Amino acid sequence: MDPRLTERISRISASQTMAVSEAATNLRERGIRVVDLSAGEPDFPTPENIKEAAVRAIRDNFSKYTAPSGTSELKGAIVERHAADFGSSYDVTEVMANVGAKHSIFNVFSAMIGHGDEVVIPAPYWVTFADVTRYVGGTPVFVDTDERSGFRLTAEMVAGALTPRTRLLVVNSPGNPSGAALDDDEFVRIAGVCRERGVVLMSDECYCHFLYDGRKPFSIASRPEFKDTVVIVGSVSKTYAMTGWRVGWVLGDARLIRGISKLQSHSTSNPTSIAQKAAVEALRGPQDSVPEMLAAYARRRRYVVDRLRAIPGVTCASPGGAFYAYPNVSAAFGRGGIEGSVDFAVRLLEDRKVAIVPGAAFGTRDHIRMSYAASMEDLEQGLDAMEAFMRELGS
Ligand X SMILES: Cc1ncc(COP(=O)(O)O)c(C=O)c1O
Q: Output 311 or 370, the one with its CB closest to ligand X.
A: 370
Is residue 107 a contact point for ligand X (CB under 6 A)? no
Q: Output 102 or 300, the one with its CB closest to ligand X.
A: 102
Among 243, 261, 268, 315, binds ligand X (CB under 6 A): 243
Shortest distance (Å) from residue 97 CB to ligand X:
11
Q: Please, which residues bridge with residue 266 across strands?
A: none
Shortest distance (Å) from residue 257 CB to ligand X:
18
CA-wise closest residue to 304 among 231, 227, 370? 370
Interface size with ligand X, residues (CB under 6 A): 13
Is residue 38 a contact point for ligand X (CB under 6 A)? no
Q: Output 130 or 314, the one with its CB closest to ligand X.
A: 130
Is residue 235 a contact point for ligand X (CB under 6 A)? yes
Is residue 237 a contact point for ligand X (CB under 6 A)? yes
Is residue 176 a contact point for ligand X (CB under 6 A)? yes
* Distance between CA atoms of residues 209 and 211, nearest Å: 6
Among 82, 102, 134, 301, binds ligand X (CB under 6 A): 102
In sequence order, the 6+-apart residues with CB closer than 8 A to the CB of 1 are none
Q: Output 260 or 390, the one with its CB closest to ligand X.
A: 260
Among 179, 248, 327, 359, binds ligand X (CB under 6 A): 248
Shortest distance (Å) from residue 364 CB to ligand X:
16
Q: Which stretch binds ligand X (CB under 6 A): 96-104, 135-143, 273-281, 298-306?
A: 96-104
Shortest distance (Å) from residue 235 CB to ligand X:
3
Is residue 100 a contact point for ligand X (CB under 6 A)? yes
Shortest distance (Å) from residue 344 CB to ligand X:
21
Shortest distance (Å) from residue 133 CB to ligand X:
14
Shortest distance (Å) from residue 248 CB to ligand X:
4
Among 24, 121, 206, 260, binds ligand X (CB under 6 A): 206
CA-wise closest residue to 20 among 290, 353, 295? 353
Q: Which stretch binds ligand X (CB under 6 A): 22-30, 97-105, 218-226, 288-296?
A: 97-105
Does the N-terminal peptide bond of residue 312 adopt cis geometry, omega within 30 degrees of 0? no
Is residue 126 a contact point for ligand X (CB under 6 A)? yes
Name the residues that contact ligand X, by CB under 6 A. Answer: 40, 100-102, 126, 172, 176, 204, 206, 235, 237, 243, 248
